[in-house]
Amino acid sequence: MLKEEIRAELSKRGVTFKQIAAEQEVAPATVSIVFKGDRRSRRIEQAIADKLGKSASELFPERYQGREDVQMS
């Protein structure tokens, strides 16, 4: 998915970065930074993916390409 598509789908479901940040106990800016790809956080990438019922590797394939350990627990 493209970033614009991810944002649109989150918005359609009524999910904000602020909500994800609160659930993950991080600043909203942290979620935004991870979303844009400026920093990596598997936990936050997965939290975003969970809101859409997808895996982090589906939403951010470029970040998980060639990785054997894409499953997160």
CB 6 within 8 A of CB 48: yes
Residue 56 — left, alpha, or beta (φ > 0 → left; ψ -120 to 50 → alpha)? alpha
User: What is d(CA 73, CA 13) in angstroms, rounded to the nearest whole number?
Assistant: 24
- The reported pTM is 0.85
Quick one: pLDDT at residue 66? 72
pLDDT tens digits along 55-67: 999 999 999 887 6
- Domains parsed from the chain with CATH numbers: 3-61 (1.10.260.40)
- Confidence class for position 72, pLDDT limits 50, 70, 90: very low
CB 59 within 8 A of CB 1: yes
Quick one: pLDDT at residue 64? 87
pLDDT tens digits along 26-51: 999 999 999 999 999 999 999 999 99
